[in-house]
Amino acid sequence: MVQEADTGGRSGLTDEQMRANLVRLAFGGDDRRLEEFCAVVRDAIPECTAAVLRGSAITGERWADGAGFDAEGPGTSDLDLTLVGDEVLKYYELNGFYVPGVHSRPLSDEAPDVAPRLVPLRKRLMELVGRPVNIQGTRDWVMFMREQIFGQPYLTLVGKTESA
């Protein structure tokens, strides 16, 4: 089950609103597809790791330029999955970090070799959603800074970021 705690409106959106956007935009309005996505993630990540989704899939628009989700056509927007916790950072190669041991580059088409252990998860998730899924690793305090200082909201799908 997707965690549905209300955080009091990060960047003007409640968790319920972000989840509704996500289901509508990325999962064709089907809650079961989101639940399957979450189950696949949960089964693939280390214990005490949280999984959050960021970006236009939860807000409806890109942070950088305000363009809508899938503005370039169906399936063109990616999903930005961030795994939060100490253990998952060990999945990333040394060259896969912006800040070693703290904040990784996203496993993506542009950086397909930064986290070899996560490649099967990424492939499975992309099959489920029919669009690119980028997977980044970070620490909980980085997520806090991105949200509170940079105004970048996120929706927790698995676990709790404060205990990751």
Q: Is it the case that residue 8 has pLDDT exceeding 80?
A: no
Nearest 5°: phi and psi at 24? -70, -45
**Higher pLDDT, residue 65 or 135:** 135
pTM of the model: 0.86
| Mean confidence (pLDDT) of the chain | 87
Is the pLDDT confidence value at 88 over 60?
yes
Write the pLDDT tens digit of every residue in 93-151: 989 888 888 888 999 999 999 999 999 999 999 999 999 999 999 988 777 777 766 66
What are the domain boundaries of the chain?
A: 15-163
What is the DSSP-derived secondary structure letter of residue 89?
A: G
Is the Cβ–Cβ distance between 122 and 135 less than 8 Å? yes
Strand partners, 10: 13
* CA count, 13 A, side-chain hemisphere, 133: 23
Tell whether the model's pLDDT for residue 36 goes beyond 90: yes
Per-residue model confidence (pLDDT) at position 6: 39
Residues whose CB falls within 8 Å of the CB of residue 3, separated by 6 or more in sequence, listed in order:
15, 156, 157, 158, 159, 160
